[in-house]
A = this chain, B = another copy of it.
C-alpha cells in the first residue's frame, strides 16, 4: 500500500544460517536490495570486500559514527559492525525492500529510529542443531564456538522484541515463509498511516 520500500532486519543466533537464507531470498525474488554492513574485523577465508562486508579501520568507522553516517552500529567480539545510511535510504526511496542482516543490538537501534522496520528473527529448530551447525561450518575454533553459544544465551532475551519469528529447518520453505511474512507486514495499521488519516479526514466531514 505504501510506495516506499520496507526496511527488513534479519537477525538470529550465529550459526542459524541467516547468510544462506538472505542469499537465497535475493536470488529468488527481485523486490529486495541487500545492505552491506561495514566491519572492522578481519575477512574470513573467501570473503570479499564490498560483498560480505565493507572492511575498514577503527579510525574510519569512528569517523562515520560521528558524521551520523550509520543507521546502527555495535561492538561484537571486539570489533565494530555497522550499516551505512546512504545506501539504505536511496534504495527505500526507489521502492526496494532493503534487507539488513544484523545482530540484535543493532536491530533494536534501527527499530527505534525507523519504527516501520520489520524485525525478523530466524531460529534453528533446537539449540542442539545450532551447535551442530556452528561446528559444521569448520572455520571456528572450539573457543569461538563456545563464545557464540554463550552469546546466544544472552541474545535469547530479545526474541520477543522481534515482530516475526521463523524456524530455519528447511531452506526453501524458510525462504518462502520469510518472503510471505515480509509481504503481509505491509498491511499493519502502523505502515498505513496515510490511508487511515485520509479515511478519518473524510469521515470527520460527515454530518
- Count A-side interface residues using an 8 Å CB cutoff: 38
Q: How far is the CA of A199 from the CA of B181 in the complex (A)?
A: 22
A159 vs B128: C-alpha distance when bound (angstroms) = 43
> Which one of B156, B188, B196, B199 contacts A126 once the chains associate, using CB atoms below 8 Å?
B199
CB-based contact A203/B153 at 8 Å: yes
Residues of B near A206 (CB, < 8 A) are: 127, 149-150, 153
Which residues in B have their C-beta under 8 angstroms from that of A187? Answer: 164-166, 177, 181
Report whether B189 and A160 are in contact in the complex, using a CB–CB cutoff of 8 Å. Answer: yes
* CB <8 Å contact, A180 and B177: no
The residue that A165 contacts in the complex, of B152, B159, B189, B202, with Cβ under 8 A, is: B189
A-B CB contact pairs (8 Å), 27 listed: A121-B189, A123-B195, A127-B202, A127-B203, A128-B202, A150-B206, A153-B203, A153-B204, A153-B206, A156-B196, A156-B199, A156-B200, A159-B189, A159-B196, A160-B189, A162-B189, A164-B188, A164-B189, A165-B188, A165-B189, A165-B195, A177-B187, A180-B180, A180-B183, A180-B184, A181-B184, A181-B187
